[in-house]
Amino acid sequence: MALKLIPLLCLLSAMPTHAIAQDQPNNDITADMQKHFAEAYNRGDLDAMTAAFTKDAVRVTPSGIFQGRDEIRRGFQDALKLGLHDYTVQRVISRSESNFVFNAGKWQAKLGDRPFYGYYTAIVVREDGQPKIMQESVTVATP
């Protein structure tokens, strides 16, 4: 059963912890995005969760490749059904390159009492004046 859960756990790990900012420090915007995503997840608000991604974003997870908000939404829908809780994320690396921001970090969550964790990378761009995730890759660490 646990092996079947691993790919689905990866679907959730897109906690937006990154942004492109011109007048606010990255850490302030990072905290805001992280807070809003966590609130959306706790409410089961798929619209708010998928709004963190560009229209043609790509997510690569152990359970598959999801392209565009509709597919990403379906992936998050599966993750919400699992009942994950206590979700956190820690950005470890962040750097700007031209019009992109590259981030890498670690995510953690619990399913019942059992902890899971993994790693992510994300590329963030501006879409319609807002920072959005254009590409994200997620892993689940082996126990």
pLDDT tens per residue across span 32-75: 666 677 677 777 899 998 998 999 999 998 888 999 999 999 98
Task: Quote the DSSP letter at residue 105.
Answer: E
DSSP string, 79-101: HHHHT-EEEEEEEEEEEEETTEE
Single-letter residue type at 33: M
Burial class of residue 48 in the structure, from the number of CB atoms within 10 Å of its CB (0-12 exposed, 13-18 middle, 19+ buried): middle
The answer to whether the CB of 89 falls within 8 A of the CB of 13 is yes
**Residue in this structure with the two tokens 């229209």, named with its chain if needed:** 55
What mean pLDDT comes out for the span 96-111? 86
Nearest to 78 by CA among 39, 48, 44: 44
What mean pLDDT comes out for the span 4-20? 44
Rounded to two decimals, the pTM is 0.78
In this prediction, what percent of the chain has a pLDDT beyond 70? 75
* Domains, the chain: 2-138 (3.10.450.50)
More confident residue, 81 or 25: 81
pLDDT tens per residue across span 77-90: 988 888 887 777 78
